[in-house]
Structure 1
Amino acid sequence: MANVARIKLGQGLEVSKQGLGCAAMTGSYGPPKPESEMIELIRHAINSAGVTFLDTSDAYGPYHNEILVGKALKGGGMREKVEIATKFGISKNEKWELEINGRPEYVRASCEASLKRLDVDCIDLYYAHRIDTRVPIEVTMGELKKLVEEGKIKYIGLSEASASTIRRAHAVHPITAVQNEWSLWARDIEEELVPTCRELGIGIVPYSPLGRGFFSSGPNVAQNLLDNDIRKIHPRFQGKNLENNTVVYERVAEMATRKGCTPSQLALAWLHHQGDDVCPIPGTTKIPNLNQNIGALSVKLTREEMNELCSLADLVKGDRHPLMSTTWIQADTPPLSSWQG
């Protein structure tokens, strides 16, 4: 097995320094991939590449992604080798519209369903996938704390929570990790969220660390996207924004050439150099790409190179998410005193 360094998230969860995002294996960026190939990929990540931190969610598929991960971990002592992170909170209402749910009964039902799909006794890291702005975070955290006490989950995480929400949640039970989009073109967490996490001793798990494939495939990734590829509605892949952002990619590719690495390795290395409390979770559906991503751990950057890469943020055009104005991005919740159940 490859000797991938280990880091600690929060006060106790030890994971591989780079994780594996599993979402694309069952959809999101085009159609689901063949199950047997994805099982092979996950097992290769663990046994050959040294990646043990697997990221999934009940929303991916939906549901099929957790089932896939569960199947990949069957036999050979695989479960004992990994740290499983999954999530709850994104559901569909009776109109099949996406909504966020942080009510305690939903938290519990979601956890128990995820345990069955993954076919495990305990989830290592359980995130609130998004923050329900109708439910005080203390109420959601209260149920998560009970699940920890019952041994159904080990650690609690939040995704796309505001700094104030993180503080309130942490006061109920320690938060182990915060998952947010963070990459060369998604930098909004640096002003407030990163300092808050470091003050509280919370690990940081960047999702979409390759700009949803932009820094691995370049602007060509936006060509001929299928209708079921969520990038079709992302502002940074559209029209003039894409033309402008192509310049950003070219600058990254130019430095990568100088460094003797790939643009994706450079983008991941930039995140690894942010600190030992940072664990990016690049996703892929191909073993060669996974191996390439692991190579980022060997790329060393000088302070000048880091500064050069940081400066590219000023050139990026377009919101990082099509739902920036909704509850999906760094959300707050009402005060506990307002809760009536």
Structure 2
Amino acid sequence: MNNPIPRRELGRQGLNVSAIGLGCMGMSDFYGPADDAVSLAVLNHALDIGVNFLDTADMYGINGANERLLSQLLRTRRREVVLATKFGNVRGPDGAFLGINGRPEYVRSACDASLQRLGVDHIDLYYQHRVDRSVPIEDTVGAMAELVKAGKVRFLGLSEASAATIRRAHAVHPISALQSEYSLWTRDVEAEVLPTCEALGIGFVAYSPLGRGFLTGAIQSAEDLAPDDWRRSNPRFQAESLPTNLALVAEVQRIAAERGCTPAQLALAWLLHRNPSLVPIPGTRRIARLDENAAAATLALGPQELERIDRVLAQREVAGTRYPAASMASVNA
């Protein structure tokens, strides 16, 4: 890459990361077969070009497979990585989902297990992956704060938390980052969550910033996905939703072509222009896509271009919820 990737601050506690991060989930689960050797090549290339913010979770892959994958990189390049992982979504040894756990004793044991799998002595950013509605957020974040005092964690985060939950959590211990889905076709957080983060000085990490790949234009139907790809069950990828959603993608492609960039770069640049404390973490298993995404960090969009995109978004509805009904119950909690 010709231009260095700029850095951004998440929160007010000193967490500095690359303006584009790398979501690692798809390297181990949910999006069809993956190759660990290829994934490691992508991870090393990310650090080589300045993408230092790597995002994983203990539930990405059976028995923490994604954390174990990252451990192979961390053995030799730990100092170059801003490492984020998550706890709270519990899976059994066979990969079955067992629910959400935010109890203090689980927080402590989950952190120790992640540290062991990752092969590190501390986690830079530790998120509660989903809010446990049966446990007061004060209790969960209190246990997370103990991990900071113990030196096992540097900064704290939440994922898919509501504005009210964020305020309660932040009153217990500073929250450096809130991670939730945000993209051209998922803008729920704009009403309350983003303003709350801005008011409290909390950074925002946007996952699925490319609409789980849909906004790139590479997916025209569910048949373009592997048979075991989780997106086949996503409402937005269903046949009844596709015509409406493809119309939005066509508009994004048109604007990107006129701008001389790819649809993915336009979608990422749009996010980066929304807030200076926002960092998208697109996932990929290909070096070419990683380079493409990273280049968006230096793509400047003018006021007229941003206004045009906003007009398109106002005119083009999105069909389907972002998760199946059962999973929707755990977001914005």
Range class of TM-score, shorter chain: over 0.9
Q: Could you tell me which amino acid in structure 1 is paired with residue 101 of structure 2?
A: N
What is the Cα deviation at residue 17 of structure 1? 0.6
Distance 2:324 2:218 in 1: 20
What is the Cα deviation at residue 217 of structure 1? 3.6
Corresponding residue SS for 1:205: strand
Distance 1:306 1:90 in 2: 36
Distance 2:10 2:325 in 1: 28
Corresponding residue SS for 1:66: helix
Change (3 A) 1:270 1:177: same
In the alignment, which residue of structure 1 is the partner of 2:8?
Answer: 7
Once the two structures are superposed, residues 184-231 of structure 1 have per-residue CA deviations (whole angstroms, 9 ceiling, x without a partner) of 000000010000000000000000000000012444263242332110
Corresponding residue SS for 1:126: strand
What is the Cα deviation at residue 290 of structure 1? 0.3
Change (3 A) 1:312 1:234: farther
In the alignment, which residue of structure 1 is the partner of 2:105?
Answer: 105
CA contact under 8 A between 1:21 and 1:54: conserved in structure 2? yes
CA contact under 8 A between 1:45 and 1:290: conserved in structure 2? yes
In the alignment, which residue of structure 2 is the partner of 1:171?
Answer: 171
Identity across the alignment (%): 49
Corresponding residue SS for 1:151: coil
Change (3 A) 1:185 1:326: closer
Once the two structures are superposed, residues 150-197 of structure 1 have per-residue CA deviations (whole angstroms, 9 ceiling, x without a partner) of 000000000000000000000000000000000000000001000000
- Give the unaligned 5+ runs of structure 2: none
Distance 1:309 1:113 in 2: 44
Q: Could you tell me which amino acid in structure 2 is paired with residue 64 of structure 1?
A: A
What is the Cα deviation at residue 326 of structure 1? 4.6
- Give the unaligned 5+ runs of structure 1: 332-341
Q: Could you tell me which amino acid in structure 2 is paired with residue 59 of structure 1?
A: M
TM-score (norm 1): 0.92
What is the Cα deviation at residue 94 of structure 1? 9.7
Distance 2:100 2:131 in 1: 7
Corresponding residue SS for 1:244: helix
What is the Cα deviation at residue 324 of structure 1? 6.4
Distance 1:116 1:14 in 2: 25
What is the Cα deviation at residue 325 of structure 1? 6.7
Change (3 A) 1:135 1:216: same
In the alignment, which residue of structure 1 is the partner of 2:248?
Answer: 248
Change (3 A) 1:325 1:82: closer
Residue correspondence of structure 1 range 104-143 to structure 2 within 5 A: 104-143=104-143
Which sits farther off after the overlay, 129-138 or 309-318?
A: 309-318
Distance 1:103 1:134 in 2: 9
What is the Cα deviation at residue 97 of structure 1? 3.7
In the alignment, which residue of structure 2 is the partner of 1:81?
Answer: 80
Distance 2:119 2:42 in 1: 19
Distance 1:218 1:34 in 2: 21
Distance 2:328 2:223 in 1: 28
In the alignment, which residue of structure 1 is the partner of 2:25?
Answer: 23
